[in-house]
Structure 1
Amino acid sequence: MHTKNTALLLIDFQNDYFEGGKYPQHGADSLLPRLRQVISAAKAAQMPIIAIRHLGSAAAPFFNEGSAGAQLHQQLHPAQDAMGWIVDKRHADSFRNTQLADLLQKLKVSRLLLAGMMTQNCITHTALSPWGTGLEMVVLEDLCAAPDPLVHAIAIRALADRVTVSSSQDWFA
């Protein structure tokens, strides 16, 4: 696959979505080894890697700002040197009220490979964002998780009507 002008967007790979967190997602822990491989391959290809971190208020059910649950998952720490940027957000849409669009323009990115949590929420809102118009959005379905497999499958099917849905194997052999 052609990866020029492509960035890897890692959405909400935060402790609260994994085992021991406040809202574990189905299959989240099992996708971590493949995610680390993809991050290494993206780094080797000199592809920009942007981690999105959702920060909630003290009253939020999870991702409370400053908490361990809001931090990027500990298994990604060795890969964090590969993550060129971390963008904080407070909405499901990674573009809304963030500097993401400006960063992508600065990096001359025209295609985003999306991976993360929750398929039916933050992945969907980011992939369909009005602030992402003009970008080619590709959802890496094997690197996304939701509360259960059926919710994930329904969200992926709905997204496939509007954006490209692919496997990380198609981009990172």
Structure 2
Amino acid sequence: MTTALLLMDLQNTILERYGPASGDFLDRVVAAQERAEQAGLLVVLVRVKFAPGRPEISPRNKMFAAARSMSVGADDRGSEPHDRLLRGKGEVVVTKKRVSAFAGSDLEVILRSHDVTELVLGGISTGGVVLSTVREAADRDYALTVLEDLCLDADEEVHRVLTQKVFPRQAEVIASADWRP
């Protein structure tokens, strides 16, 4: 079984929303990324990014409609993965256009080209990209592990319910310190 570590939506603009709390979180993410690199695993950094003018966003899309009026440009630093994750150690950056890491991206092609059958997931938010990617990856028959402490959500109750009650139906849910690549 070939494994890939997916670190999702850990880009500058999103991490800034969590303020100082993102410091310890980012330390754990980097530690897991280092372990994955040392084990020779594929590390995929997934980001959400739109073209100038955001033509991909429908006004009917409640989640992304607010992004249509944002003043930041499509090529600004805010959409880039955090600098601590861009380590130059073979990580791949995938750009998506919707909530799931698979939606509007070339993730599936990359995973197939590396014969990946198992995904280890972390990201912001638990109720957004992590939930959508767990569901879609399970439907695509990937073996799944969610690193519970590498997921953040603005709503702690949503995070708790998903990691303790929903995700275990389709994934192993563990702390990042317990993950052995």
Structure-2-length-normalised TM-score = 0.80
Q: CA deviation at 1:83?
A: 4.2
Distance 1:115 1:64, change over 3 A: farther
Tell me the equivalent position of 2:80: 71
Cα root mean square deviation, aligned: 2.4
Deviations 1:134-154 (A, max 9, x none): 111111101111113222112
Which residue of 39, 45, 55 corresponds with 2:39?
45
Distance 1:147 1:104, change over 3 A: same
Deviations 1:58-81 (A, max 9, x none): 61559862122211113324x2x1
**Structure 1 position 31 matched with structure 2 position 40:** no
CA distance in 2, matches of 1:70, 1:131: 27
Distance 1:159 1:27, change over 3 A: farther
What amino acid is the match of 2:103? R
The answer to whether the 8 A contact 1:25-1:148 is kept is: no
Tell me the equivalent position of 1:98: 105
CA distance in 2, matches of 1:35, 1:147: 18
What amino acid is the match of 2:30? R
Tell me the equivalent position of 1:155: 162
Larger radius of gyration: 2
The number of residue pairs the alignment matches comes to 165
What amino acid is the match of 2:43? I
What amino acid is the match of 1:163? A
Distance 1:25 1:153, change over 3 A: farther
Per the alignment, in what secondary structure is the counterpart of residue 116 of structure 2? coil
Tell me the equivalent position of 1:169: 177
Deviations 1:105-134 (A, max 9, x none): 110111000011100110010011168511
The answer to whether the 8 A contact 2:49-2:79 is kept is: yes
The answer to whether the 8 A contact 2:5-2:120 is kept is: yes
Structure-1-length-normalised TM-score = 0.84
Tell me the equivalent position of 1:88: 95
Percent pairwise identity: 25
Tell me the equivalent position of 1:129: 136
Unaligned runs of 5+ in 2: 55-66
Q: CA deviation at 1:170?
A: 2.1
